[in-house]
Structure 1
């Protein structure tokens, strides 16, 4: 944990628990299966708060919509999975290795669990320092992020409103795998199909469809 987070744990058990995926959870004496899911839940909230706090102070003259959009780009699943790989979480996460695909989708969740562990062990300020110094600053160019507008769905909706056209997004299929789902979305303009997209969430599929339209 020292190498990953720059932290000397006071309660090492918290960090051990943060690395245990539910696929290998063992039932304890209280009948409760111990995994990182509760820490992930907590870490998700703390991570969002820490990033919001950081952006609020860094951009004092930007409105709520701007702050929400940048925070979303920093803490979305793709970003969290990338950050988790960068700081070495793949080397410590414990999961059912019979499922080779599983690691690709749980790294970001494990990162959130570690954030939760740091918060409980060291408090909010130390946790925020980890988020800013170890996650945001080394791996995200905020200036480039601000300039890049990757919200293709918003773009096409704005275009349709300007042109007086009717636009609809629809999930046309959901394929269920063992540990994931793949959504297929379609965007139509005035009833005509304009683009079809795919993703592991409805939001990603709709963004992909908008990009292809």
Structure 2
């Protein structure tokens, strides 16, 4: 009996210590103590580690927060660029916003601010290097901050903590990593017909991997994989640019 009480006590102590460590990590990232730590725990719970609820078998993960954070991030960055570049057209603003908030950019950003060590995922169901996992968590974090701290704090976090510290806008403007756009521009200049086709889907539901193929004038040039169709097309386009020696 005494052993059971002791084990229970130490289990609680370890759990409490882990909780305090998690709160401290979130505080270091966002710059303020979290008001609702459960929101942030949910933000870092990848779909592979989702937990079933009592509501019709609904499995809880960070996907809903990711949806919210994506909208909040996009709107704040759009407003920021709109004010910063008053004489640039809609096409320019849309392209630069895309370069800031695209999945590759958010993956890198998530690692830079330390989200990698906080993400909860099932290593048997998803590879650690699954490219979208970090960017998804980044958007979910923004969704959690918005619900926990409100719009004003979230805007300050995005502009002061993220944009100001991790993005050089001059470099962003000069660097085009949208390989699909690069490839299509090349095709127009050269009078070539470029097509994209999803030729394979592996896995089920949220764990699918897509394979895209790029063809030029009907001839297959490259293939690329990704965890969504856009990512697969971008990877195939990147390999096509390399094969055709197209410079950005």
TM-score normalized with structure 2 length = 0.75
Residue 59 of structure 1: CA displacement? 1.2
Q: What do you get for the CA RMSD once the two structures are aligned? A: 2.3
Residue 145 of structure 1: CA displacement? 1.2
Task: Find the partner of 1:17 among 27, 42, 46.
Answer: 42
Question: In 2, are the aligned partners of 1:25 and 1:35 still within 8 Å (CA)?
Answer: yes
Residue 115 of structure 1: CA displacement? 0.3
Residue 122 of structure 1 corresponds to 149
Matches within 5 A, 1:197-208: 197-200=223-226, 201-208=231-238
Task: Find the partner of 1:181 among 198, 209, 212.
Answer: 209
Task: Find the partner of 2:196 among 170, 175, 182.
Answer: 170
Matches within 5 A, 1:3-152: 3-31=28-56, 32-99=58-125, 101-102=127-128, 104=130, 105-152=132-179
Residue 172 of structure 1: CA displacement? 5.8
Question: In 2, are the aligned partners of 1:90 and 1:103 still within 8 Å (CA)?
Answer: no
Which residues of structure 2 form unaligned runs of 5+?
A: 1-25
TM-score normalized with structure 1 length = 0.86
Question: In 2, are the aligned partners of 1:48 and 1:71 still within 8 Å (CA)?
Answer: yes
Question: In 2, are the aligned partners of 1:153 and 1:210 still within 8 Å (CA)?
Answer: no
Q: 1:128 to 1:207 in 2, by over 3 A?
A: farther
CA-to-partner distance for each residue in 1:167-204, whole Å, 9 max, x for gaps? Answer: 12132622525734142322313x4x373242412431
Q: 1:35 to 1:45 in 2, by over 3 A?
A: same
Question: In 2, are the aligned partners of 1:170 and 1:185 still within 8 Å (CA)?
Answer: yes
Residue 48 of structure 1: CA displacement? 0.9
SS of equivalent to 1:62? coil
Aligned residues: 210
Which residues of structure 1 form unaligned runs of 5+?
A: none
Question: In 2, are the aligned partners of 1:185 and 1:205 still within 8 Å (CA)?
Answer: no
SS of equivalent to 2:140? helix
Hey, what's the Cα distance between the residues in 2 that align with 1:4 and 1:86? 10
Hey, what's the Cα distance between the residues in 1 that align with 2:232 and 2:49? 28
Hey, what's the Cα distance between the residues in 2 that align with 1:112 and 1:17? 12
Residue 127 of structure 1: CA displacement? 0.7
